[in-house]
Amino acid sequence: MPEPVTPLRADHAFVLQLQESRGRPETCRAGRVEHLKSGEATRFTTTAELWDFVDRVLAATTGRREQGTSPAWKKETG
């Protein structure tokens, strides 16, 4: 029996807009990200900048992320 799906939280919703890249789509590393609930947004040029923004916003809105921790998916995508 499949495990129940946990609903996605609205305060964890982001819009990601990627800059068009000349070359393969998987090489795109720049764009803009916006947190929907707060309206806070930033531009990024690396995936590290993207995930740093997401971590910072989630820490500020939920107060749950401990400084210096990083989810497994962030470590994999660098």
Q: For residue 1, is it within any domain?
A: no
Residue 42, SS3? strand
- Domain carrying residue 26: 11-65
At 27 the pLDDT is 65
Q: For residue 48, is it within any domain?
A: yes
**Distance from C-alpha of 48 to C-alpha of 16, rounded to nearest angstrom:** 14
- Interval 35-70: pLDDT, tens: 999 999 999 999 899 999 999 999 998 776 544 455
**Distance from C-alpha of 38 to C-alpha of 61, rounded to nearest angstrom:** 9
Residue 11, SS3? helix
Q: For residue 49, is it within any domain?
A: yes
Look at the chain and report how many structural domains it folds into: 1
Q: For residue 56, is it within any domain?
A: yes
Higher pLDDT, 26 or 76: 26
Residues 6+ apart with CB under 8 A from 77: 47, 51
